[in-house]
Structure 1
Amino acid sequence: MGSSAGAKQAPPPPAAAPKGGADESPAAEAPTVDSRLPYPNFRELFTLKNYWKTIRRNDKDCGKMLLARYLNQHPENTSKYPKLKNVDGATVDVSCNNPGFETVAANYLKVFDDVISAVEEKPGDVQPACDRLVAVGKMHRSKVSDMQNSAFQDMEEPFLNMVKEALQDRFNEKAEGLFRKFFQFLSFIQLFGHSFIHSFIHLLVFDDFCRILPHIVIMLFSRTL
């Protein structure tokens, strides 16, 4: 009778999969990003969302900082807001506790937060975010007298400054680039609507679109004169 020592050993059982399984890797879990967004992958959107958490935690001061800087740079627009009738746009700052000023500041920041929240919920379909922004733009123009489309674009620098102040030493070239793209994305929708953006993004990379935007604006507005 042969010894059992020479018999083939049964193969060991497969190692147990780590908790959560292989699908836990970022690459496997990364959602698809809607092509209308100015980010080529979910990682950039994820980074933007993490930065934005700091602003959410300080939303009241951030909103006031955004509006104060905007009015400082464009004091002539103060009179367009009925709630700001007792506010001096040229000198107002974040310490202002005027109820009307605080309300307008909170409403402006809420627009940005609502769009980011909608994108967070469905990164693969930004239609709800686009619809929200278009609706807010229409409502804003109906409530604020003689407000031009360019007024929203004038808020880009105050918006970036607000982000810079909120992030402090975390604000770097990458953060600036992510938020600048985000703001320009919102501006494009405000100016042209989401359907225009969707068709153009498929033809051009975002940076190219940024470079030719002034020419598009001139062309479109010249046709209305």
Structure 2
Amino acid sequence: MGAIKSKFFRSKSGSRKSKEDKPVKEKKQKKKVNLPESQSARKTVDPRLPFSNYRQIFSIRNAWKAIQRSMEEHATETFMRFLNSHPHYKAKYSSISGIQDGELEELRKNQDFEDKSMDIYCIFDGVIANLENVDKAIQEIQYGAAATQFSHKMVKDYHDPFIENIRLVLGSDRFTETTENNYKLLYGFIQVELCKHLEEEDEPTVIEVSKADIVEEPTEEVVDNTKIVADTEVEVNLCVDDAS
């Protein structure tokens, strides 16, 4: 029994000793992984565009996806907001010129109005899709300019309704100050290129002036000095005759 016990203890102590004799492994150091540079960081921006980095283009495209889901609806809403602010522009479009200001809601059902609304939105859609190919983007503007029937002044006045509609679509959480600035830069680029193919101003407005508005300046009486001299000579002669 004692022999067995001693044998057991020897085997146990031997196994413990073998474990202690094993060299301690050094901890592996973590290797640094060089991640590939993002595509947006590698891409350059055409100098004709008003952007300083490609991230701005990426932001514009990402936000525009929300517009593209219902582009006809958003185009109509923007154009309605535009005409509500500037109702005199209705006269430019024969299909809606007879609609009264209070009946603009009826335009939602007007197919001609939707088509006209889409003319300007299609330009923005085409430009945003081709911001990496500026020549193609400029062609999109040139091709669609005439259909809008816009003038320089109308393009300027369309700015605020357009930006406001994007604000409403994206909401306050997504429509950040950066997004707003990027879209204003985009609008400025399109405005400059679009105005190259549009009339400078609308047709001049005829202003009717009533007679009551006309102030007549008093006319100066022309004195005939010859007549005065002649009358004086006659009077002198009469006095001479009387004296004689």
TM-score of Structure 1 vs Structure 2, range by shorter chain: 0.5 to 0.7
1:177 to 168, 177, 181: 181
Distance 1:190 1:107 in 2: 12
2:20 equivalent in structure 1: none
Q: Does 1:80 align with 2:80?
A: no
| 2:41–2:54 contact (8 Å) kept in structure 1 | no
| 1:54 corresponds to which of 51, 58, 66 | 66
Q: Where in structure 2 are there 5+ consecutive unaligned residues?
A: 1-30, 201-244
RMSD: 2.8
Does 1:129 find its partner at 2:137?
A: yes
- 2:43 aligns with 31
1:11-50 deviation line (CA, Å, top 9, x unaligned): xxxx9xx9xx965x31586322101111111111101110
Task: Quote the residue 1:165 is aligned against.
Answer: 168
Q: Secondary structure at the match of 1:82?
A: coil
Q: Is residue 2:147 matched to residue 1:140?
A: yes
Q: CA deviation at 1:132?
A: 1.8
* Structure label with greater radius of gyration: 2
Which runs of no fewer than 5 residues in structure 1 stay unpaired? 1-14, 194-216, 218-225
Change (3 A) 1:95 1:80: closer
Does 2:158 align with 1:155? yes
Q: Secondary structure at the match of 1:39?
A: coil
Q: Is 1:67 the counterpart of 2:63 in the alignment?
A: no
Match of 1:208 in 2: none
Secondary structure class of the residue paired with 2:49: coil
Per-residue CA deviation, residues 129-172 of structure 1 (Å, 9 max, x unaligned), is 112212322x237xx4xx53221111100110110111012112
8 Å contact kept, 2:50–2:186: yes
Distance 1:78 1:103 in 2: 15
AA partner of residue 59 (structure 2): T
**Is this contact kept in 2: 1:55–1:166, CA < 8 A?**
yes
- Return closer, same or farther for 1:74/1:29 CA change in 2, 3 Å cut-off: same
Q: Which residue identity lines up with residue 148 of structure 1 in the other structure?
A: S
Corresponding residue pairs, total = 167
8 Å contact kept, 2:79–2:117? yes
The Cα shift of 1:86 comes to 4.8
**1:53–1:28 Cα change, 3 Å:** closer
Q: Is the 8 A contact 1:70 1:158 kept in 2?
A: yes
Aligned to 1:204: none
Change (3 A) 1:117 1:83: farther
Structure 2 counterpart of 1:167, one-letter code: L
* Structure 2 Cα separation of the partners of residues 85 and 110 of structure 1: 23
Structure 1 counterpart of 2:229:
none
Percent identity among equivalent residues? 23
The one of the two structures with greater contact order (alpha-carbon pairs below 8 A, sep at least 6) is 1
